[in-house]
């Protein structure tokens, strides 16, 4: 302790909280301190002297009464879809997509609405404890620009789907634009990391799937795809190509350790063996799948196969929020009730999925996902001085089963304080809300015409 104090020259020191490290040893440190310098965690330990005055930093944050932990990692969302929150609910997936969402996107999604929607979504995520997310959409330049202002960490994935580019000249034009997008934002990694996102096997032709994957491999990028979200998808791909969706993608050569498959509600054991063998990662989005009655992903079996699984919220049009604490609670409970096994998917496992698991899915586990020296300083403080969080016996259980996003008090991303005492530091919240309300008013007016 004295050696640390003698040589510290920190930007920020966090003191007094209970630190949930989420490291390999899952250490929990009471009366902890975390030193931050130049965006990195440079010291972690127990404040045995119990006094903030002993630390020397430009800013001291007293986390007494809080759980200090790694920021949550949302492995799948569509930020601009906050503009469609509540617009089309209580519908089956395909009716929801083809009858409401796709037409709305065709009419109302542009660079301005994407930027406004992304800004409000990032405000919602910061306020609820998410520090890193993976987005897949269109006009991703606008999302990356909004990211620069908000100060979040993200994988931003340029989307591809044949229903908006039905011919080969169109995909070549879109790929050229996507490559310019990657060239622009790749130097900003690891705060902003570009990637490619094919919507699904049923909206992308084999040519599109292969073309985009080849470009991703050449640039060393992640490749994302919605897969087996519904039971009907299997029959659709079988009728179209004579094989199931995973075999279809396997034969196209697009599955590998840089592939993230989203949803995977209807994976079978053979599919899981393929994923485990090739290192394919999975993003589990239980609330969206529940709401659309799409199915329940066999996550416990995936974990037993050694597949890396993270948690995602999906977009606000199908969830309808971006609160990862709620998603954690659902992740734990949905697998207990469907398996009739109260032991399965325990709170510690779910906490890992929302932190280190998500970091591994995004290929960032050497940078984020735990509070350890040398890692990026992406840290949140959860205020445990709440009626619904009292008493505290088990930190993991309290985080998964009782905590809400609104309990997050302070958030730090890349060593920068982006929220302190529930006040956003990088986003004008009321302006963000007003901008999306104006977009929604325009949508309502056009729908009524």
Per-residue pLDDT of 394-418, as tens digits, reads 999 999 999 999 999 999 999 999 9
Question: Are 16 and 40 in a shared domain?
Answer: yes
| Alpha-carbon gap, residue 394 to 44, rounded angstroms | 21
Domain membership of residue 379 (yes or no) is: yes
CATH number for the domain harbouring residue 186: 3.20.20.140
Domain membership of residue 448 (yes or no) is: no
Question: Are 250 and 331 in a shared domain?
Answer: yes
Question: Are 30 and 111 in a shared domain?
Answer: no
Domain membership of residue 132 (yes or no) is: yes
Domain membership of residue 8 (yes or no) is: yes
pLDDT at 51: 56
Which residues span the domain enclosing 299? 72-361
Question: Are 12 and 120 in a shared domain?
Answer: no
Domain membership of residue 436 (yes or no) is: no
pLDDT at 256: 98
Question: Are 395 and 316 in a shared domain?
Answer: no
CATH number for the domain harbouring residue 381: 2.30.40.10
Quote the number of domains for the chain: 2
pTM of the model: 0.95
Q: Provide the CB-side half-sphere exposure for 103 (13 A, CA).
A: 11
Domain membership of residue 91 (yes or no) is: yes
| Alpha-carbon gap, residue 320 to 77, rounded angstroms | 11
Choose one of 309, 330, 361: the last residue of a domain: 361
Whether residue 29 contacts residue 19, with contact meaning beta carbons closer than 8 Å, is answered with yes
pLDDT at 3: 45
Question: Are 264 and 118 in a shared domain?
Answer: yes
Question: Are 194 and 240 in a shared domain?
Answer: yes
Q: Write the CA distances from 412 to 9, 190, 408, integer angstroms.
A: 18, 16, 11
pLDDT at 165: 52
Question: Are 119 and 172 in a shared domain?
Answer: yes
Question: Are 27 and 115 in a shared domain?
Answer: no
Question: Are 204 and 227 in a shared domain?
Answer: yes
Instruction: State which residues of the chain have pLDDT below 70.
Output: 1-7, 50-54, 163-169, 447-449
Question: Are 118 and 93 in a shared domain?
Answer: yes
Give the residues across from 153 on adjacent strands.
132
> Which tokens in the block code for residue 276?
């485990």
- From the centroid of its chain, how far is CA 394? 25
Domain membership of residue 24 (yes or no) is: yes
CA-angle at 375, arms to 374 and 376, nearest 5°: 125
């Amino acid at each position: 302790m004295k050696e640390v104090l003698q040589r510290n020259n920190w930007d920020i020191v966090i003191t007094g909280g209970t630190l949930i490290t989420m490291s390999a040893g899952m250490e929990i440190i009471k009366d902890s301190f975390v030193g931050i310098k130049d965006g990195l965690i440079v010291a972690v330990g127990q404040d045995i002297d119990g006094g903030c005055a002993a630390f020397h930093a430009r800013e001291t944050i007293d986390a007494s009464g809080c759980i200090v932990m790694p920021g949550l990692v949302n492995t799948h969302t569509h930020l601009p879809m906050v503009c469609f929150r509540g617009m089309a609910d209580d519908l089956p997936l395909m009716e929801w997509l083809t009858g409401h969402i796709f037409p709305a996107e065709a009419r109302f999604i542009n660079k301005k609405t994407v930027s406004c929607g992304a800004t409000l979504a990032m405000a919602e995520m910061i306020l609820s404890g998410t520090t890193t997310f993976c987005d897949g959409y269109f006009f991703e330049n606008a999302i990356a620009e909004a990211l620069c202002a908000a100060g979040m960490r993200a994988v931003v994935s340029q989307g591809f789907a044949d229903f908006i580019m039905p011919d080969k000249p169109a995909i070549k034009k879109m790929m050229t634009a996507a490559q310019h997008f990657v060239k622009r934002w790749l130097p900003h990694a690891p705060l902003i990391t570009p990637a490619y996102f094919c919507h699904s096997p049923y909206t992308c032709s084999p040519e599109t799937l292969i073309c985009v994957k080849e470009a991703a491999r050449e640039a060393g990028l992640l490749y994302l795809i919605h897969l087996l979200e519904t039971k009907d998808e299997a029959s659709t791909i079988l009728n179209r190509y004579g094989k199931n969706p995973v075999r279809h993608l396997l034969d196209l050569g697009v599955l590998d350790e840089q592939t993230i498959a989203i949803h995977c509600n209807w994976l079978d054991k053979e599919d899981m063996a393929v994923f485990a063998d090739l290192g394919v990662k999975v993003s589990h989005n239980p609330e969206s799948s529940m709401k659309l009655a799409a199915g329940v992903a066999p996550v416990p079996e995936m974990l037993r196969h050694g597949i890396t699984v993270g948690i995602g919220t999906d977009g606000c049009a199908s969830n309808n929020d971006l609160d990862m604490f709620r998603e954690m609670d659902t992740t734990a409970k949905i697998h207990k009730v469907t398996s009739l096994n109260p032991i399965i998917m325990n709170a510690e496992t779910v906490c890992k999925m929302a932190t280190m698991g998500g970091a591994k899915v995004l290929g960032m586990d050497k940078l984020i996902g735990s509070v350890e020296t040398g890692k990026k300083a992406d840290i949140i403080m959860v205020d445990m001085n709440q009626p619904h969080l009292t008493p505290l016996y088990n930190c993991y259980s309290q985080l998964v089963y009782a905590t809400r996003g609104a309990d997050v008090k302070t958030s730090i991303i890349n060593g920068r304080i982006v929220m302190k005492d529930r006040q956003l530091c990088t986003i004008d919240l009321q302006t963000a809300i007003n901008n999306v309300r104006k977009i929604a008013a325009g949508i309502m007016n056009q729908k009524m015409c």
